Structure 1
Amino acid sequence: MIIAIDGTTASGKGTIAKRLAAWYGLPHMDTGRLYRATAIAALKHSVPLNDEARLASIAASLDLDDFEESELRTADAGKAASVVSALPLVRKALFELQRAFALREGGALLDGRDIGTVIAPDADVKLWVDAAVEQRAERRWKELRANGDGVTLDRVIEQLRERDMRDQNRADAPAKMAADAVLIDTTDLTIEAAVEKALAAVEAVLARGNRT
């Protein structure tokens, strides 16, 4: 079974993905970490974020064990990842890695922004997780503050709107809800309620598939 979970930043898709992967006993790939790691590696080696060829080379040789989770979760990492992820050669370099993970024996769960549309359009279940930008920004702001980042809430709202615009309007693999995906709106939900809603959506899709 392949489960594809896509959605916007700070919508809760990452937590939902981890919980569902554990529930169904599926290996999980957070594909956003690949782009964040590519961006961080580029910044560390002073590679311009518009040097597509060098960035693609970095992406092709990534080892996620070289990165601390804390450095991948900063606001700067997210912003740079959004820029890097719009580059076709970078996406091409990471495509096979993600596709192979999705097709591994026994199934898998992947979360990102183009899993259900590009990486695994044949996924058994597709979810799109979203929330109002103000709510997402507050969640992200609290996370950043907890990690010592002094960014303001207004700035986080601005950053998320900029990222949404870039992700949804990039020429290659834009972030969008697959036609057959189930929408999970987490704006007014606790994380527990969001996970329960996502689990119910997966079960409903599987039940429909079992009847056909």
Structure 2
Amino acid sequence: MDVRKITIDGPAGAGKSTVAKILARKLGFLHLDSGAVYRAIGYGAKEAGVDVDDESAVSEFAKTVNVDIDNGRVFLNGKDITEKIRTPEGGVLASKVARFPEVREKVIEILREIAKDKKVITDGRDAGTNIFPDADVKIFLTASCEERAKRRYEELKKKGFNISYDEILKEITSRDNQDKNRKVAPLTVPEGAVVIDTTGKSVDEVVAEIEKVVSQKK
């Protein structure tokens, strides 16, 4: 089988983007970070003065924007906003706008358009269930809340954010609840996905496990 689509799903802080980025580079695939598109729409809505809890207003706003991903950079209407969306607030905004069906439809449309005629690795919370249900390889990464909070805390600390571990743990627990219980496309393990618990594992170990899964599909 010629593997063309790989999806990596899982909760916040499970290592999806890091692993997907490395795998994409190793396999020569394009990396699509679905969460980055939600962050871009959430960030753009807030910047435009749109109430991110107002479904109708956010849905209308989403119809007017153009989001592109190129070489790991995220562009909103042609403007590079990569650093601006990689903040704790960016994650909260993404989770808020992701509740709305029309926003999810827009994100799926954007990602499918970018993926046309390309080999892609897509990570997110519904990459294997809704964005690319026809993916050749589906992975679901998980880890304990404490492990995920620790990783996110260290990542943000390196970037210079002044935030406590307890705040991060609270945010991750809250996002888990919101993602699992939302009415539209809740966080679930896709049918046929290989589940990998990354607790206590290095990034290289996780990448190697997924490479093994991919090679068995070929």
Contact 2:128 2:190 in 1 (8 A): yes
Name the CA distance, whole Å, in 2 between partners of 1:108 and 1:146.
29
The code of the aligned residue for 2:96 comes to V
* TM-superposition CA deviations, 1:42-93 (whole Å, max 9, x none): 1112210122233223333133242432211100110111111111121122
Which residues of structure 2 form unaligned runs of 5+?
Answer: 68-74
State yes or no: 1:202 paired with 2:218.
no
- The equivalent residue for 1:152 is 164
The TM-score with structure 1 as length reference comes to 0.91
Contact 1:128 1:182 in 2 (8 A): yes
Aligned residues: 205
The TM-score with structure 2 as length reference comes to 0.88
- Select the residue among 172, 176, 179 that pairs with 2:188: 176
* TM-superposition CA deviations, 1:146-184 (whole Å, max 9, x none): 222221111111110100111111111111111200012
Name the CA distance, whole Å, in 2 between partners of 1:163 and 1:59.
21
RMSD: 1.5
Contact 2:34 2:107 in 1 (8 A): no
- The equivalent residue for 2:22 is 19
- Select the residue among 89, 94, 100 that pairs with 2:107: 94
Contact 1:101 1:108 in 2 (8 A): no
* More helix as a share of residues: 1
* TM-superposition CA deviations, 1:108-132 (whole Å, max 9, x none): 2211110111111111000001111
Contact 2:40 2:81 in 1 (8 A): no
- The equivalent residue for 2:155 is 143
State yes or no: 1:62 paired with 2:62.
no
Contact 1:12 1:129 in 2 (8 A): yes
- The equivalent residue for 1:210 is none
Name the CA distance, whole Å, in 2 between partners of 1:140 and 1:106.
30
Contact 1:37 1:62 in 2 (8 A): no
State yes or no: 1:165 paired with 2:177.
yes
- The equivalent residue for 1:8 is 11
Q: What percentage of residue pairs aligned between the two structures are identical?
A: 36
- Tell me whether 5-14 or 65-74 shows the greater mean CA deviation: 65-74
Name the CA distance, whole Å, in 2 between partners of 1:186 and 1:166.
22
The code of the aligned residue for 1:88 comes to P
Name the CA distance, whole Å, in 2 between partners of 1:48 and 1:114.
24
Question: 1:99 Cα deviation (Å)?
Answer: 2.5
Which residues of structure 1 form unaligned runs of 5+?
Answer: 208-212
* More strand as a share of residues: 2
